[in-house]
């Protein structure tokens, strides 16, 4: 995807994650307090999700685009970052969804196992980044990503806890 697509993805993710993390669909009653809590959560999520969603494309300025910062070792660093430093726990979601958008939404794909392998992986669902359909594909992929994140949050483990706590609750379920 292009920069516009990743910005659109990040904004929609921050809005959608705010709803997922704030609204319990089984007991939600709209009130002024719930609207304030939702706006507050969206505000808290916006910076880390947008940073994560835009970070991988920093490799356009150095290295090899869709290789240097578009791989699983980089994602692992962002997964571990909050465990070590105790903050920015949602940056990894922005990075991971950037990867998904590049693999599913664009024709080229990304080198998931770089630097071990330069092979780029993609799905045959993508469009050219200059396509008139790129924004629509971005929205469809983002809605699917939010569906997966909602499923994880409601059925596996809460996304608004630390990754260490999430890992502990996931192993308890499995």
10 Å CB burial of residue 151 (0-12, 13-18, 19+) is: exposed
Average pLDDT over residues 132-148: 91
Average pLDDT over residues 105-113: 87
* In-domain check, residue 168: no
| Phi-psi category of residue 87: left, alpha or beta, with phi > 0 → left and psi -120 to 50 → alpha | beta
pTM (2 d.p.): 0.86
* In-domain check, residue 28: yes
* In-domain check, residue 141: yes
- Number of domains composing the chain: 1
* In-domain check, residue 48: yes
pLDDT of 149 higher than 80 = yes
């Amino acid at each position: 995807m292009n920069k516009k697509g990743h910005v659109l993805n990040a904004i929609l993710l921050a809005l959608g994650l705010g709803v997922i993390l704030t609204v319990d669909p089984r007991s939600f009653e709209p009130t002024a307090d719930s609207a304030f809590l939702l706006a507050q959560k969206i505000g808290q999520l916006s910076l880390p999700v947008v940073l994560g969603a835009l970070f991988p494309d920093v490799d356009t300025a150095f290295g090899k685009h869709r290789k240097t910062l578009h791989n699983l070792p980089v994602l692992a660093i962002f997964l571990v970052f909050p465990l070590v430093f105790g903050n920015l726990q949602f940056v990894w979601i922005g990075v991971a969804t950037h990867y998904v958008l590049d693999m599913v939404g664009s024709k080229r794909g990304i080198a998931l196992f770089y630097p071990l392998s330069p092979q780029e992986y993609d799905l045959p669902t993508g469009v050219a980044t200059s396509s008139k359909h790129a924004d629509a594909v971005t929205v469809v992929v983002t809605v699917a990503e939010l569906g997966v994140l909602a499923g994880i949050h409601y059925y596996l483990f809460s996304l608004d806890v630390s990754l260490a706590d999430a890992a502990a609750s996931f192993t308890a379920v499995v």
